[in-house]
Structure 1
Amino acid sequence: MFDPTVFENLKVAFENQLYDLDTLDETIQITGRKDTMEMSVMGRAFSLAFHLTGQEAVTAELRLEASLKELAAELLELPGEMPSCELSLLFHMRVKDFEQQCPQIEAVFQRIWPENPVPVQTLSFVFSEGQTEHLSEIKLPFKRKINEEQMEDIPSLLEHVLLTLRALGEVSAASMEGK
């Protein structure tokens, strides 16, 4: 009989919660889904991208990854190894005034995610005449890996993601008003 891995169980748990927020609650709209096997390193990766319904300016992406080492430790039941996955959250938004907005973005994360390290903000832009906006990718690193023991934390984690999307949406809207 097939015994699903920690990665599979967490993936399904996140999918269930996020698709309920999309189809039943209509709180979010899912805009992308990837479920891949990275053949060069034999790892698994899963991601779901979404934004709040009616607020497309800021998107979130939940990523779950398991390396070959983590999958092998679980499948081979290696002693002393705890099966786990890496979870990361990414947020994407346009930034008009990065000198003003990037500190505001950091403040949002410090308020909503006080137990986590400062997010990593990466700015980029497409070179074209008159380009004034930057694309911002904000990655929230987590201090530890997760496993099935953290499944009960998923609703709380997703509530924090929704709060973050709302707060980042306010930062984005404030910059648009100041055009």
Structure 2
Amino acid sequence: MFDPTAFENMRIVMEGNFYDKDLNGEMVIVDRNDCINTAKLSRTYDLSFHLSRADPLVTCRFSLKANIENLTAELLPSIQSNKYAGCMVTIEFIFEQTFDGLKVNEIETILKQIWGEKRMITLTYSYKPLLPGQKGSYQAQISFDRMITEDQIDDLIVMTDYMLQTLERLEEVL
């Protein structure tokens, strides 16, 4: 048996947290992926969910990623690369709407109010230009400019409440 990595520990804690909220009726889990890239020795875990309501408009995707540098820094502390030990966390909110510049500003304001001014927020809109009048796809991504370690597991759990709050606020404006 091997000692679980920080990635494994954080994945297990977050997965349990998400499934508890699903069982309590706070959210509905709609997708989950746990991928190992053996060519690059990296791991990615993501879980997608939406609010427990009829016809939800917005889906949230939580992603946890660790690559070979992260694993090496954790398993070989003698090389003193602790700044790489841990995982990268990304949170995305995905929904379809026709493009509306005023709505984009409102969405950005909501994301900054909930996640803070220091978070890197990227909002993209894609559509099929040869199909006029179709709804396009929005993707709002919250990134953190640092490694997340096991020391922040409690923060990750609290972050789930921010995800739910963001879903509720986005659903209100859409």
TM-score, normalization: structure 1? 0.89
Greater Cα shift, 69-78 or 43-52? 69-78
Q: Residue 116 of structure 1 contacts residue 143 of structure 1 at CA under 8 Å; is this kept in 2?
A: no
CA drift of 1:106 comes to: 0.2
Identity within the alignment, %: 29
Q: State how 1:40-55 maps to structure 2 within 5 Å.
A: 40-54=39-53
Q: Tell me the residue number matched to 1:32.
A: 31
Greater Cα shift, 109-118 or 145-154? 109-118
1:57 aligned counterpart, secondary structure = coil
Q: Tell me the residue number matched to 1:175.
A: none
Q: Output the amino acid matched with 1:121.
A: L
**Counterpart check, 1:171 vs 2:173:** yes
Q: State how 1:155-170 maps to structure 2 within 5 Å.
A: 155-170=157-172
Q: Tell me the residue number matched to 1:151.
A: 153
Q: Residue 73 of structure 2 contacts residue 80 of structure 2 at CA under 8 Å; is this kept in 1?
A: no
Q: State how 1:50-129 maps to structure 2 within 5 Å.
A: 50-54=49-53, 56-82=56-82, 83-127=85-129, 129=131
CA drift of 1:95 comes to: 2.5
Gaps of 5+ in 2: none
Q: Residue 110 of structure 1 contacts residue 118 of structure 1 at CA under 8 Å; is this kept in 2?
A: no
**Counterpart check, 1:142 vs 2:141:** no
Greater Cα shift, 154-163 or 58-67? 154-163
CA distance in 2, matches of 1:116, 1:49: 24
CA distance in 1, matches of 2:78, 2:29: 37
CA distance in 2, matches of 1:97, 1:73: 43
CA distance in 2, matches of 1:163, 1:71: 33
- Deviations for 1:55-80, whole angstroms, at most 9, x for unmatched residues? 52100000000011111222233342
1:107 aligned counterpart, secondary structure = helix
Q: Tell me the residue number matched to 1:177.
A: none
- What RMSD, in angstroms, separates the aligned Cα atoms of the two structures? 1.6
Q: Tell me the residue number matched to 2:20.
A: 20
Q: Tell me the residue number matched to 2:133.
A: 131
Equivalent residue pairs, number: 171
Q: Residue 95 of structure 1 contacts residue 101 of structure 1 at CA under 8 Å; is this kept in 2?
A: no
CA distance in 2, matches of 1:132, 1:118: 29
TM-score, normalization: structure 2? 0.91
- Deviations for 1:27-52, whole angstroms, at most 9, x for unmatched residues? 10111101011233211100000001
2:50 aligned counterpart, secondary structure = strand
CA distance in 2, matches of 1:128, 1:20: 43
CA distance in 1, matches of 2:49, 2:160: 12
Gaps of 5+ in 1: 173-179
Ranges of 4+ aligned residues in structure 1 off by more than 6 Å: none
Q: Output the amino acid matched with 2:111.
A: F
